[in-house]
Amino acid sequence: MKRKLQNITDKLWAFSAIFLILVLWQTVSSLGMIDSFLLPSPIDVGKAFIEEFPELMGHSVVTLSEAFLGLALGIFLGFVMAVLMDHFEVLYKAFYPILVLTQTVPTVAIAPLLVLWFGYEMMPKIILIVITTFFPIAVGLLNGFRSVDADGVNLMRAMGAGRWQIFRFIKLPAALSQFFSGLRISASYAVVGAVISEWLGGFSGLGVYMTRVRKAFAFDKMFAVIFLVSFISLLLMKGVDLLQKKCMPWEDLKEDE
């Protein structure tokens, strides 16, 4: 009961802060302190969202398809890399620096090359999403695997357990928490990565829509897309939280103690 009350209080503070920002924004726009075409009011953004809702939903389907497919491949690639680098020290020493190096290159710099190599279809967008999502998964899992209690591993070996059994019953459960932390980040990266890749070319998607309305100086529609992308990212992160609770029910028991 106390934990639920604390959660409600935390949410109230968050909603209060958001409400205050919207009120200040509306006040600045209503007083004409900034030209409305540069900073449309929240009411104008809401009207634009309602007017453009059918078209936004159509573009959202394309963006989410790219995001989910890229995220799924990123999870698979990150999981495989983490398992291999954990099992083989040579692979860890050889590829971990390269893994880190891939994250130092801005995605905006990679995207034009992918478009030149693979065209304007879905392929370059999915590749860009994989590049941005696999790193948090791989690093989170790898750190989880390597943070396992050595005494527990030695005990399993003394009882005759093989590598697969140690991985299944010791390493994987221990790494789940860090895996979901990385998945939460990757889920938001997937949507943002899809939108960024669509900026550089394509036929549909929220990024393509943003490019069109920006060229038309329709900033009310631009803000509507920004809020939609943020809302989708929050929904995906919430979905990861629910999935974590299903896969790790013992975490709730720890918090209740």
List, for residues 208-247, the tens digit of each pLDDT value. 898 888 888 888 888 899 889 989 988 998 898 888 888 8
pLDDT score of 61: 92
User: What average pLDDT does this structure show over 46-66?
Assistant: 90
Residue 76 has pLDDT above 80, yes or no: yes
pLDDT score of 40: 85
Give dist(CA 118, CA 136) in Å, integer. Answer: 25
Give dist(CA 172, CA 82) in Å, integer. Answer: 11
> Cβ–Cβ contacts within 10 Å for residue 45, how many?
23
Spatial contact of 56 and 206, defined as CB atoms under 8 Å apart? yes
Q: Which residue has the higher pLDDT, 116 or 131?
A: 131
**Token reading at 13:** 């503070």
pLDDT score of 5: 62
Residue 254 has pLDDT above 90, yes or no: no
Give dist(CA 236, CA 191) in Å, integer. Answer: 9
pTM to 2 decimal places: 0.83
Q: Which of 74, 130, 113, 134 is nearest to 200 (CA)?
A: 113
Residue 75 has pLDDT above 90, yes or no: yes
The predicted-structure confidence for 106-121, as pLDDT tens digits, reads as follows: 777 777 788 778 877 8
Give dist(CA 207, CA 187) in Å, integer. Answer: 17
pLDDT score of 19: 83
Q: Which of 125, 140, 251 is nearest to 185 (CA)?
A: 140
pLDDT score of 10: 64
Q: Using the Cα atoms of residue 17, residue 195, residue 113 and residue 185 in order, give the sign of their dihedral.
A: positive
User: What average pLDDT does this structure show over 170-177?
Assistant: 86
Give dist(CA 146, CA 87) in Å, integer. Answer: 10
Residues 6+ apart with CB under 8 A from 64: 191, 194, 232
Spatial contact of 242 and 184, defined as CB atoms under 8 Å apart? no
